[in-house]
Amino acid sequence: MELKGDVRFDHVTFSYDGEKTVLNDVSLFAKPGQKIAFVGSTGAGKTTMLDMAANYLRARFGGERVLVEKQPTDLSRKTRLFQKMMYSGRHEDIDYRAVQLLTLSDRVQHNHEIIVPALKAGKIVVCDRYLYTSVANMLARGYREEEWFFSACRCIVKPDLAFLAYVEPALAVSRIRARPQEAERFLDETLLKNVAEEFLRLRGAAGFCVLETDRAPERAFERVKNNIDRMTEGMV
């Protein structure tokens, strides 16, 4: 039999034979699984916050209970189109809607193949980037009428918690430039600024908890920890 929804015991007392008590005034709460997403512009500090959150969750619930994922996956990242967008300054022959169709199909498949089964198995899924990243990037490029895109986004499971890491775009750029692995990456600073602004505009509709990640990571993480504690209160 497949259990669906939350499992909750409130002050349960139980015995098999009416004489020997097996459970005495037990209260517990368990969900099939919960999903946490960290989003934000490149260089905003979301991966640092995610790593701290994952370590905190593993310490509380055990490593087997916590699944860390990243989107988009290699299904789209390793394609020639995606690589050209990331590392070439010549984008005039790229239709960005094609890029988003590619990454969105990746997200849908990843959701179906990895995330939903993990949630059904009772895992806590922590994801680096999520569908909101695609939405912010589409809007930042002026694509606001593509109903096919926004309709497809609705079939992806929404997170229980979504954190938006935010810093001023100039600081994000300086962080990216300091990364050796990003040395060959093409950076459109105007676009980066527009994406950051779109993330902020989405915070109400998406329910983002905004993290000001220009401060020390430990200070920004306090807000992450407090929200995770509320979400997981009573979980076993």
This prediction's pTM: 0.82
DSSP, collapsed to helix, strand or coil, labels residue 84 as helix
Mean pLDDT of 88-104: 89
Q: Is the pLDDT of residue 190 over 70?
A: yes
| β-bridge partners, 8 | 29
37 in Cβ contact with 127 (< 8 Å):
yes
Closest by CA position to 69, among listed 5, 119, 31, 4? 119
Are the CB atoms for 128 and 70 separated by under 8 Å?
Answer: yes
Specify the range with the lowest mean pLDDT, choosing from 44-53, 68-77, 102-111, 172-181.
Answer: 172-181
Interstrand relation of 7-15 and 124-128 (parallel, antiparallel or unpaired): unpaired
| Higher local confidence (pLDDT), 116 or 176 | 116
In tens, the pLDDT along 3-47 reads 344 444 455 565 545 665 545 554 444 456 899 999 999 899 999
Q: Is the pLDDT assigned to residue 124 strictly greater than 70?
A: yes
Q: Which two tokens stand for residue 153?
A: 């986004």
Going by the DSSP 8-state scheme, the letter that residue 71 receives in this structure is S
At 53-84, the pLDDT tens digits run 999 999 999 999 999 999 999 999 999 999 99
Q: Say which residue the tokens 């809007």 belong to.
A: 139
Q: Report DSSP letters for 85-129, one per residue.
A: HHH-S--TT--HHHHHHHHHHHHHHHIIIIIHHHHHTT-EEEEES
* CATH, domain 33-231, list 3.30.1660.40, 3.30.750.210, 3.40.50.150, 3.40.50.300: 3.40.50.300
Q: What is the pLDDT of residues 150-167, one digit of tens each?
A: 998 988 989 999 999 999
